Chains A and B, each alone.
Chain A
């Protein structure tokens, strides 16, 4: 992976890491120095996680407009991303897309970030730094993202309570 550096902080709390080559972002990380880690027990109860679980119950045509049911692997990838990169703020909104993927969105002032979990561990990012600016796209495997807490993986539901104590 190319050496990277923080080129332009997007806010005190949310920064993008940009690769040296072509200034294309390869990941989005949270400035952990100003962040209080969310205990897993609180995390489990968040609306985002509740929403993700509910998506697995949707069936084809869930929107009455012909949408495909969310793919389980997309839901699983979204879970893994949120758990693995817990210092990244929870998405402001998380929704299924009409073609079976999961879309997470962050609104940071005028900056817009989205991560689309399309399955196979692939995250498709899209970002816009201002309301009228150009969009930027990049794609990566979940495992390629900066490992802030590499040992933190999404535990099975039955172990959440135990895991939160361990955390």
Chain B
């Protein structure tokens, strides 16, 4: 299996969720906000996910700009496909292995659709958080 191979619907995809109240709010039943799935200004060609076939959740967290200061959520590829989203392999030597892009979510997309998709993905991701920042775990 190579990083450029197409994403299978049964694959698990990992998304970094910054450890910020605006992205993750532990007080809510669905802690991840739709902001966590919004494209930033640099996301002109899609938002990033990582294929678990190539990188573990801890490796993805380690690759954050502030290493490990993030949550990681797992979403099956089929959940993206069911929302008419594609996941395109996009190996990047500056990122953990298995980098891929959700192409349809970018800065120039229709705003209403962006909000809806963000909310749906945030709710799905909230149900499967596979990595928490070590500082949070220690507090518990």
Contact = CB atoms under 8 A, between A and B. Distances in A.
Interface of A: 51, 62-68, 92-93, 95-99, 103, 105, 107, 112, 114, 116, 124, 126, 128, 131, 135, 137
A135 B28 contact: no
Contacts of A95: 21-23, 25, 33, 35
Given A63-B23, A116-B115, 7 more contacts: A63-B22, A65-B65, A66-B43, A95-B23, A124-B111, A135-B115, A137-B115
B138 interface: no
Interface of B: 18, 20-23, 25, 27-30, 33-35, 38-43, 64-66, 111-112, 115-116, 119, 123
B28 A92 contact: yes
B35 A97 contact: yes
A70 to B, nearest CB: 10
Contacts of B40: 63, 65-67, 98
A114 to B, nearest CB: 8
A135 B116 contact: yes
A51 B22 CA distance: 10
A103 B35 contact: yes
Given A63-B22, A65-B18, A93-B33, A98 B119 contact: no
Contacts of A126: 112, 115-116, 119
A96 B116 contact: no
A68 B35 CA distance: 12
